[in-house]
A and B are shown apart, each in its own frame.
Chain A
C-alpha cells in the first residue's frame, strides 16, 4: 500500500495518469454525448459499438485513399450519420423494437466494416500490416505551458478538445433552447408533443443522426488519433461502455463528462499500477477487477438515482399516433 501511494504521489505519474484518463475518456465522451441526445428524444440506440467501428473504418479507409486526416474525420462523421439513418428509419418510421434493431445494426456495422476492409486489404503477410499515419497531438499555445494542467488538458488531440467543447454545446442545446426542450419533451411524452403540433419525426431523426455522427467521431479517434490501425474489434467494447456512461451520467451532459473522465481515470490508474509492477491491496495481481469497476459503479449509480432518474419516460417505446 505504501509503495502504491509513493508511486501515485510522484508528479510525473500523476500527470501521466490524468493525461491518460483524458485520452481514454475521449472516444467514450464523444459516443456517450451523442447517445444521450438520441435517448433524450426517446430513441435507445444500442448500435453505438457498430457505429464506432464503422466510423473507425471509414476514417481509416478515407485516410488510405486521400492521405488526408481531415477527410478521414469527415468520412467518419458521414458514415456514422448514414448508418444511424438506418436506425432512425427502423425506429422512428417503421417503429420496430428499438433493442432488436440496435443489436442487429451492431452486427451489421461491424460485419460491413470488416467486409469492406478485407476486400480492400487482401493477402497481407506478417510483415505487411495495414497502417496509416495519425493526427499529432495539438498543443494549445500558451495554455499547454501551464504546469500539470497544460500537460493534462492542453497537449491533447483536436478531437479531445472538440469532445470537451461539445459538453457545454449539448447542454445549451438541450436545456437552453426551445428545440432542446421540445426534444426532451418528445422523449418523455411524445403524444403531448404531437398534440401541441410539434413535429416528432424530424426531431427524432435529427437526434439519432447526431448520435451517429458523434459515435463515428469516437470511432475515428481510435483509428486516426490513438493508433493508425483498423481491425473489426477496434472499438473493443467502448460503445457498450458509452451506453453505460449515459446511465451513469443520468442523461445529463455534465455528468456524462464526469462519468467518462471517471471511467478513463480508473483505466489509467490500473494501467499505471501495472506499469510499475505494483500489487493491489486485497486483489494482489488481479488487475481484472478494474475492468469490472466501471460497470459496478454504473449499477450503483442506477440504484442511487432510481428516485431521481432523468431517464426519458418514453425511452425505447415506439410512438404510434392515435394509440394509447
Chain B
C-alpha cells in the first residue's frame, strides 16, 4: 500500500511537472510566441543612390534585423499597421539594407523587460520595438546595449531618451474626415462608436470623428460604448447592436466585432479604424488609417547615422508624432456609396488640414 502510494505520488508529481512545463512552453514568455519572418521579397535592382548610400562607410551595415514585441496579436490594426510598415521597408530597402522582422506576440507588460533583455542579449537584433506601453521595460535595458536602437509607441509611455525612441501616429485628422462623411450621410442624426477603453490614443480619434460630423451637421447626437477590453468581438458586436437599436445609423468601429453587427442590420453604415478596412464588410464607408512609415524612417535614419557617421543616439524626451501633413495618417479608401458632394467636402477639408488652414484638436479626454 505504502509503495503504491509513493509511486502514485511520484506519478502525480511527474504529471504536474510535465503539465506545468507544457503549459509554460505554450502559455507565456517568448517560447510561446510565434516568430514570423516576412516572406522573401523580390529585390529591386540596386539603384545608383543606394550604392552611394551603402558606400557611406567602409563598415556600413548591410542588414538590419528588427524584433518587435506586442501585447496582443499581430492581426490587431494597431500592431498590424507597424508590421506592414516594416515589411514595406524590407521591400524598399532603404540604404540598401536587408531588413528582417521577427514578431513576438502576447508579451505581458510585466514580461517586457525580460523578453527585451533576452532579445538584446541574443546579439541578433539591431532594432528592438516594444510596440506599446513598454517604456519602463526599455528604460531598464537600453543603457546596457548602447548600439541597439530601442523603440516604443503610443500613449501611456514615459520618455527615455538616448537610444530609446518614442514614436506615435495620431489618426484624429482622418477620423475628422470620416466624421464629415458620417455627419453628411446620417439619416437618424445619431452616430456612435464602439471602443476598447477610455484611453488617450482611443479617445483622440473618437473626439475628432464626432467633431468632424458636427462640423457639417450641428444636430448630431452621439454615443460611445467602451467595452473595457482590447479584444472581445462578441461584446463589441452586442454593443454595436445595442447602438443600432438605440437609433444609430453610423457606427465607428474602433474594436473588432462592429462590422458583424452592422452586416446584420439594415441601413447602417460603418467606419474602419487604424487600418484601411474598406471591403471588410460592404457597409464600410471609409477608414482612418495610420501610416507608420515616416516614424520608422526617422528611427532608421538615427540608427544609420549612428553606425555610419558615429552620430550619437539622441532620442527626444517627448513623443515623435507624425500627423496627416507629415504622412503619418490618411483617410483610407472611400466606398462607392459615398456621394460626390461628400467626397468633395472630405477632399476640401483634407487639403485644409494638410496646408494648416484647419486645425483638428487632439482631445485625449473621454468623449463627452
Contacts and interface: CB of A to CB of B under 8 A. Distances in A.
Contact of B242 (A20, A112, A226, A229): A20
B180 to A, nearest CB: 21
A159 interface: no
Contact of A271 (B229, B230, B242): B242
Interface string B206-249: 00000000000000011111101111111101110111011010
A162 interface: no
B26 A111 contact: yes
Given A125-B83, A226-B233, A277 B224 contact: yes
Interface residues of A, number: 59
Given A272-B242, A277-B223, A287-B226, A95 B8 contact: yes
A85 to B, nearest CB: 14
Contacts of A124: 74-75, 80
Nearest to B34: A118
B366 interface: yes
A134 B281 CA distance: 14
A208 B280 CA distance: 40
Given A115-B32, A271-B225, A126 B276 contact: yes
A82 interface: no
Contact of B234 (A95, A114, A236): A236
Interface stretch (B12-20, B61-69, B354-362): B12-20
A12 B20 contact: no
Interface string B1-22: 1000000100110011001101
Contacts of B274: 126
Interface string A223-264: 000111101111010000000000000000000000000000
Interface string A271-301: 1101111000000010110010000000000
Interface string B253-289: 0001100100000000000001111001000000000
Nearest to B251: A275
A168 interface: no
Interface stretch (A99-107, A139-147, A187-195, A199-207): A99-107
A184 interface: no
A125 B85 CA distance: 10
B239 A274 contact: yes
B238 A126 contact: no
Interface size class of B (residues with CB under 8 A): 35 or more
Nearest to B274: A126
A149 interface: no
B248 A274 contact: no
Interface in B316-352: none
Contact of B228 (A119, A126, A288): A288
Interface string A124-152: 11110110001000000000000000000
A96 interface: yes
Given A108-B27, A111-B23, A271-B238, A229 B256 contact: yes
Interface string B306-317: 000000000000
B77 interface: yes
A115 B234 contact: no
Contacts of A17: 242
B72 interface: yes
Contact of A291 (B228, B248, B276): B228
Contacts of A236: 229, 231-232, 234-235
Given A13-B246, A104-B19, A119-B34, A276 B39 contact: no
Contact of B260 (A27, A122, A227, A268): A227
A112 B81 CA distance: 26
Given A129-B280, A222-B234, A276-B223, A107 B28 contact: yes
B142 interface: no
12 contacts: A16-B241, A16-B245, A124-B80, A125-B84, A126-B276, A127-B275, A226-B234, A229-B256, A234-B232, A274-B224, A274-B225, A274-B226
Interface of B: 1, 8, 11-12, 15-16, 19-20, 22-28, 32, 34, 36, 38-39, 72-75, 77, 80-81, 83-84, 87, 105-106, 192, 221-226, 228-235, 237-239, 241-243, 245-246, 248, 256-257, 260, 274-277, 280, 366
Given A125-B84, A271-B235, A277-B223, 11 more contacts: A27-B234, A90-B19, A108-B19, A108-B27, A111-B26, A118-B36, A118-B105, A134-B260, A236-B235, A271-B225, A275-B242
